[in-house]
Structure formats: C-alpha cells, structure tokens
Amino acid sequence: MPRLFFALPLHQLAPALIDWRERRPWPGLPVSERNLHLTLAFLGEADEATRDRLIAAAAQQRCPPFSVHLDQTGWFQRARAAWVGPSEWPNELNVLARALRRHGEKLGLGNGEQGYRPHVTLSRKAGEAPEALPAPDLVLQADSFCLYQSVSTPQGVSYEPIACWPLRA
C-alpha cells in the first residue's frame, strides 16, 4: 500500500531553496528539488478505497490562500532531518493542517501526534543541526495543497502528487 501525506507544493520556491542551500554548508543528504514540500498532515499507508475517501474529503476543504515566511533553520534530531521553516505562521496553516489530519484520523490514518511544526526538510541523515545564521528569508505563497504518495524507486524515494486543490475561502 502506498504511504500518503498532505502537503503544500513549493512551486517556484523550490529552485530558490535549492539555490539557498547550495550556497552554504548544510549537513546530510540533500532532498531533491522535486521532492521538496511543506507537510500538512502525515497519513501513512492507505488502501485505494481509503485514498478515494480522503480525496473526496479534501475536495470539500476550504481555506483561503496564505503566505509562510521561511526565516529560520532547524533540525529534528531523531529523524535526522535538517530544515527551514517559519518562526511564526498564519493561523490558516494550523487550521488547514488540523482539518486534514482529522480527515485522516476519521479513516484510521495518521500517527496520533498532535503537535504541528511547519518545516521544509532540505536534507536527511543529517548528523548535526544546520548553522542558524545567516537565516533564510524566503516566502512561500500557498495557493494550493496536494495529496502525495511516497514511491520507492531504485534512485530513492519519490513524492508524487496524486491530486491537488486550490486554496479558496
């Protein structure tokens, strides 16, 4: 069964983030440009029927567009992921992430975690935190969200959007 998650696609911000990362020391194995995303809700493995119900629920989801200022770096020690993220973020992002997590929970999906920390993972297998300074100063204009599946390939994991929806009030 494929592993699913909801995320914001980065569109034109992805090359800018790669460029930003490449111009400074950064720990770990870089995430490829096409795999960059901002996770909204982790869902885990789901069968086709469950996936279709998720898609139907997501299509009904309303949320106005918003922007996220990526202005800090961070490191999840346990996951060994080095990331950039916002120090503050709009409530729309919390509300959207919570609503999508609940859609998953109603279908028995998710990991039970309640906390939400928006971030864009730039590398994995990072044994140390990235240097905090100079801080990033990049803006993600969020105008859509997608349901992604993780596909394992001989070249590594690939995150493929299954369906996307515009953010609209």
Token reading at 32: 């490829």
The one-letter amino acid code at 94 reads: N
Q: Which segments of 63-167 are extended strands (E)?
A: 66-70, 72-76, 81-85, 120-124, 138-142, 144-153, 156-166
Is the bond into 134 cis (omega within 30 degrees of 0)?
yes
Q: Which of 42, 71, 107, 129 binds ligand 3AM (CB under 6 A)?
A: 42
Site for ligand 3AM contains 39 (CB under 6 A): yes
Site for ligand 3AM contains 73 (CB under 6 A): no
Site for ligand 3AM contains 165 (CB under 6 A): no
Of 54 and 81, the one with the shorter C-beta distance to ligand 3AM is 81
Contact (CB, 8 A) for 156 and 15? no
The verdict on whether 103 is a catalytic residue reads no
Site for ligand 3AM contains 5 (CB under 6 A): yes
Of 66 and 83, the one with the shorter C-beta distance to ligand 3AM is 83
Site for ligand 3AM contains 149 (CB under 6 A): no
x/- track of binding to ligand 3AM for residues 119-138 (CB under 6 A): --x-----------------
Site for ligand 3AM contains 111 (CB under 6 A): yes
Alpha-helical segments (H) within 36-126: 48-59, 91-106
The verdict on whether 11 is a catalytic residue reads no
What length does the chain have? 169
Helix 91-106 to helix 48-59 angle, to the nearest 10 degrees?
140
Q: How far apart are CA 26 and CA 125, in angstroms?
A: 11
Site for ligand 3AM contains 81 (CB under 6 A): yes
**Which residues are catalytic, by number?**
37, 119
Residue numbers of the site for ligand 3AM (CB under 6 A)? 5, 39, 42, 79, 81, 111, 121, 150
